[in-house]
Structure 1
Amino acid sequence: MRQPSYAEAVRLLLMSDTHLPKRAKALPDALLAELPHADVAFHAGDWVDTATLDLLESRCRRLIGVYGNNDGPELRARLPEVAYAELDGLRFGAVHETGPAQGREARCAARFPDLDVLVFGHSHIPWDTTAPTGLRLLNPGSPTDRRRQPHCTYMTATVTDGRLTDVTLHRLPPR
């Protein structure tokens, strides 16, 4: 698998809470079409099946993933609870659960003081905020299980010259 060159912009694809095959039979075509364009893909847990991990490992240039509360022993054996990566000078972390929305920024800034960006999941609710410390918190929602949200979602972003830019929430068409 080719490792991305960081001389140019690093294109990111962020997803979480795929819950396959419980909530959907497969990842949405629009999300799969983004994979070849991403230098790094994040999955913030609740895969539920190992087939999704196998698929993303085979199609992603670089995959950063963690297990979630619905992931069993096979996934927990292959994935960490928290993952870390440095991309073009930005320090990233991924974790599944961050607790209640109220106080999230302060709680995550205290737990992850050395990060610039934290990708998380669990709630299925898209989230994009910045803590007073500068920590950017991103939850891409779920591409397969919208729960009480109007749309299934995922995110893309770009890292250029040590800055996170072009953070975009993508709404998927109804299934």
Structure 2
Amino acid sequence: MRLLLTSDTHLPKRAKRLPEALLGELAAADVVFHAGDWVDTATLDLLLSRSRRLVAVYGNNDGPELRSRLPEIAYAELDGLRFGVIHETGPARGREERCAARFPELDVLVFGHSHIPWDTTAPNGLRLLNPGSPTDRRRQPHCTYMTATLDSGRLTEVRLHRLPPRR
């Protein structure tokens, strides 16, 4: 099963549209995760129309319309692996322990907010993934998103994709 992870798209504030590379991944993805800060409903509608399955939440920059359509925390069980999606997890320091204590039932937590790619595993085995942002790199060298493969209940081939600079 092919997974696509993204967050913090901030359209149309940070970019006019999603990058072509990310849009191209939609066709190959069995499940798309979006960890909030959409800003516009058009991006949500686009991903809903082009995704086989979307697991998504709202972020701190999302207004009432997005909040009425999306949860603060989303859950999905895929091939026996338990996923959670949330926008914000707090400061980087202590993140693994804090998230492991808050989400002891999960195997993978997808999050956003910082625009900083993150891939770590908590002492209890919880995998924490932040795909960064495909449209707003902030202090990072590149805009990013992630893909992964889910095979026989194992998350494999987790890959961070760096996008070329926008013109």
TM-score (norm 1): 0.95
Alignment pair present for 1:153 and 2:144: yes
Counterpart of 1:39 (choices 30, 33, 42) is: 30
Under a length normalisation based on structure 2, what TM-score does the superposition of the two structures give?
0.99
Q: Which residue number in structure 1 is paired with residue 70 of structure 2?
A: 79
Which letter maps to 1:105?
E
Aligned equivalents of 1:34, 1:173: Cα separation in 2: 15
Residue of structure 1 equivalent to 2:16:
25
Alignment of 1:49 with 2:37, yes or no, is: no
Q: 1:53 aligns to what SS in structure 2? A: helix
Return the alpha-carbon distance in structure 1 between the equivalents of residues 36 and 98 of structure 2.
Answer: 19
TM-superposed CA distance for 1:108, in Å, is: 0.2
**Matched residue pairs, number?**
166
The residue that corresponds to 1:125 in the other structure is: 116
Following the alignment from structure 2 to structure 1, what is the Cα–Cα distance between the partners of residues 149 and 100? 22
CA offset digits 1:70-121 (Å, max 9, x no partner):
0000000000000000000000000000000000000000000000000000
Q: CA deviation at 1:63?
A: 0.4
RMSD over equivalenced CA pairs, Å: 0.2
**Aligned counterparts of 1:65 and 1:75: Cα–Cα separation in 2:** 11
Structure 1 residue 23 displacement after superposition: 0.3
3-state SS of 1:52 partner = helix
| Residue of structure 1 equivalent to 2:57 | 66
Q: Show structure 1 runs of 5+ residues with no match.
A: 1-9
Q: Structure 2 unaligned runs (5+)?
A: none
Task: Quote how far apart the aligned CAs of 1:12 are.
Answer: 0.1
CA apart distance, 1:32? 0.2
Percent identity (aligned): 85
Q: Which residue of 2 aligns with 1:7?
A: none
Shift of 1:141: 0.1
In 1: Cα distance, 2:102 partner to 2:72 partner: 14
